[in-house]
Amino acid sequence: MLKIIANQEADCGFFLKEAFDDLSAPIRRQLRPVMTSQISLVHHVLLVGPRCADLRESLQTLVLGMAEPGSDGRATLQALGLSGWDRQDQEDTEFMIDLMDTLMV
């Protein structure tokens, strides 16, 4: 992710806080954290916007399968310190949005 951001191939990315903290000072100075958290209620959420709505089910199947034995995504999850993704319903999403709004105030 860091290389992609440094090469300006992406505008943003997310890191585990520990991974960000372990970056060298010159690299950290080039990045601007938007938000950090250590609240156990806050989870990484992958959202699909209206333009990609037709891809939602395919993406959901793909990310939910990353933790399966033999999956190419398993190493990515391990590198991120994640054990896998959970399916999230509309109510869970609304709760996370409300929580983020509350924390940003």
Total-model pTM: 0.50
Looking at residue 37, what is its pLDDT? 63
Statement to judge: residues 43 and 84 lie in one domain: yes
Tens of pLDDT, residues 79-101: 888 888 888 888 887 887 787 77
Contact 97, 42 (CB under 8 A): no
Q: Is the pLDDT of residue 65 over 90?
A: yes
Amino acid at 62: L
Tens of pLDDT, residues 67-82: 998 888 998 888 888 8
Task: Give the Å distances, CA to CA, from 8 to 12, 22, 51, 62, 89.
Answer: 9, 21, 23, 26, 33
Q: Considering the chain, what is the average pLDDT of its residues?
A: 80
Statement to judge: residues 64 and 101 lie in one domain: yes
Which one, of 25, 28, 7, lies nearest residue 15 by Cα? 28
Statement to judge: residues 20 and 32 lie in one domain: yes
Residues of the domain holding 12: 1-36
Q: Is the pLDDT of residue 60 over 60?
A: yes
User: What is the number of structural domains in the chain?
Assistant: 2
Statement to judge: residues 62 and 43 lie in one domain: yes
Q: Is the pLDDT of residue 7 over 60?
A: yes
* The residue to which tokens 């105030």 are assigned: 105
